[in-house]
């Protein structure tokens, strides 16, 4: 098996989640990091037995062929463009960019350069959502409608999380995950009626959206940024013909098979969070694509489409009519 040498740019919370996984993956070598905070850099280098480089070019000169971009949202676009230009394969954490225009520019650059580019929509690999996807894809449950909620407890921690110039806005930071999930399970969006308001923070922190997908499935989507981390903070409910799927975050999935039938429940409480949140499989799949030169499982276009939904929501409430068609 050919060894893949990877680097990680930004080694805070999620950078270290990926480092923890990568260090144990067969045929992967951690070739270095780029971390702006010197104290953190030296702790991380000691922990993972690696070296801190000052920029992407140095990382490339050290023989690294694939990089993880796990810095704060607003830095993703420039770092990703530079990495692509240098010929790296890239795993970019969500949101890929904090504007639709940048997302499209990035998509163009990825296609022109032909590098592997995977976006960190980890929920696609989470056990609960893989279960739902399988029931829908095999036709066991044909969805007619759905209800989705994606809440945050606060916009206090870390302190920049309420700063829209940093995050792109609350929808980019948290809600985006389940916009991608909505596409993953039900296909592309046709139109939306969008309500949004600034309730507690100086950002649109309450959203109520009615959605119609291109295949006719309809649903509602709510997202609140000040819900106090009351669980479950994230849930998808899918309604079929006397059948239903739902989940409690990444912990449990429920499948009602019909009237008077048993409800199948899977409980992942005891599974390590890196597995049940999908991080392990998304990393395995990225490395596989790099090694084989194959298409990534979550593409740059998936990244663009999720950001298109966010962009449409903001347009709808900021001077728009509250209605958008795709």
Ligand X SMILES: NC(=O)c1ccc[n+]([C@@H]2O[C@H](COP(=O)([O-])OP(=O)(O)OC[C@H]3O[C@@H](n4cnc5c(N)ncnc54)[C@H](O)[C@@H]3O)[C@@H](O)[C@H]2O)c1
Residues 20-79 that bind ligand X (CB under 6 A): 34-37, 40, 70-73, 75
Which residue lies nearer to ligand X by CB, 122 or 213? 122
Angstrom distance (rounded) from CA 326 to CA 324: 7
Give the range of 10-18, 19-27, 205-213, 219-227 binding ligand X by CB under 6 A.
Answer: 10-18
Which residue lies nearer to ligand X by CB, 171 or 324? 171
Per DSSP, the residues of 66-106 read: EEEE-S-GGGHHHHHHHHHHTT-EEEEPSSS-SSHHHHHHH
Which residue lies nearer to ligand X by CB, 167 or 246? 167
Cβ neighbour number for residue 62 with a 10 Å cutoff: 13
Which residue lies nearer to ligand X by CB, 40 or 226? 40
Spatial contact of 242 and 235, defined as CB atoms under 8 Å apart: no
Which residue lies nearer to ligand X by CB, 12 or 187? 12
Which residue lies nearer to ligand X by CB, 79 or 194? 79
String marking each residue 144-173 x if it binds ligand X according to CB under 6 A: --------------x--------------x
Q: Which residues contact 199 (CB under 8 A, 6 or more apart)?
A: 205, 206, 226
Angstrom distance (rounded) from CA 45 to CA 26: 20
CA 51 to chain CA mean position, Å: 28
Residues 78-107 that bind ligand X (CB under 6 A): 93-94
- 10: exposed, middle or buried (Cβ count in 10 Å: 0-12, 13-18, 19+): buried
CB of 1 to ligand X, least distance (A): 27
Nearest residue to ligand X by CB is 12
Residues 247-286 that bind ligand X (CB under 6 A): none
Angstrom distance (rounded) from CA 186 to CA 292: 29
Give the pair of three-digit tokens for residue 289: 């694509």
Angstrom distance (rounded) from CA 213 to CA 224: 22
Which residue lies nearer to ligand X by CB, 232 or 322? 232
Size of the site for ligand X (CB under 6 A): 23
DSSP bridge pairs for 68: 8, 91
String marking each residue 100-139 x if it binds ligand X according to CB under 6 A: --------------------x-x-----------------
Residue 229 lies near ligand X (rule: CB under 6 A):
no
What residues line the site for ligand X (CB under 6 A)? 9-15, 34-37, 40, 70-73, 75, 93-94, 120, 122, 158, 173
């Amino acid at each position: 098996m050919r060894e893949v040498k990877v680097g990680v740019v930004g080694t805070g919370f999620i950078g270290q989640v990926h480092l923890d996984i990568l260090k144990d993956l067969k045929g992967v070598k951690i070739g270095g990091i780029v971390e702006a905070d010197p104290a953190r850099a030296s702790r991380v280098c000691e922990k993972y037995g690696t070296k801190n480089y000052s920029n992407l070019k140095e990382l490339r000169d050290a023989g690294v062929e694939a990089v993880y971009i796990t810095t704060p949202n607003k830095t993703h676009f420039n770092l990703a463009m530079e990495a692509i230009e240098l010929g790296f394969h890239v795993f970019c954490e969500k949101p890929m960019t904090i504007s639709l225009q940048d997302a499209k520019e990035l998509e163009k650059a990825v296609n022109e350069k032909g590098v592997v580019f995977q976006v960190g929509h980890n929920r696609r690999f989470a056990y609960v959502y893989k279960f739902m996807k399988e029931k829908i894809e095999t036709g066991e449950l044909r969805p007619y409608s759905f209800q989705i909620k994606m809440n945050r407890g606060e916009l206090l921690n870390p302190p920049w999380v309420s700063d829209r110039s940093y995050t792109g806005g609350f929808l980019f930071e948290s809600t985006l995950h389940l916009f991608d999930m909505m596409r993953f399970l039900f296909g592309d969006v046709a139109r939306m009626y969008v309500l949004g308001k600034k309730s507690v923070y100086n950002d649109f922190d309450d959203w109520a959206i009615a959605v119609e997908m291109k295949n006719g499935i309809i649903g509602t989507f709510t997202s609140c940024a000040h819900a106090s981390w009351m669980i479950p903070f994230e849930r998808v409910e899918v309604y079929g013909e006397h059948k239903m799927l739902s989940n409690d975050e990444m912990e449990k999935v429920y499948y009602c098979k019909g009237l008077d039938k048993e409800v199948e429940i899977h409980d992942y409480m005891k599974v390590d969070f890196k597995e049940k949140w999908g991080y392990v499989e998304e990393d395995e799949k990225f490395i596989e694509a790099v090694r084989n030169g194959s298409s990534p499982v979550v593409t740059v276009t998936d990244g663009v489409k999720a950001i298109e939904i966010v962009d449409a929501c903001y347009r709808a409430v900021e001077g728009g009519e509250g209605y958008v068609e795709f």
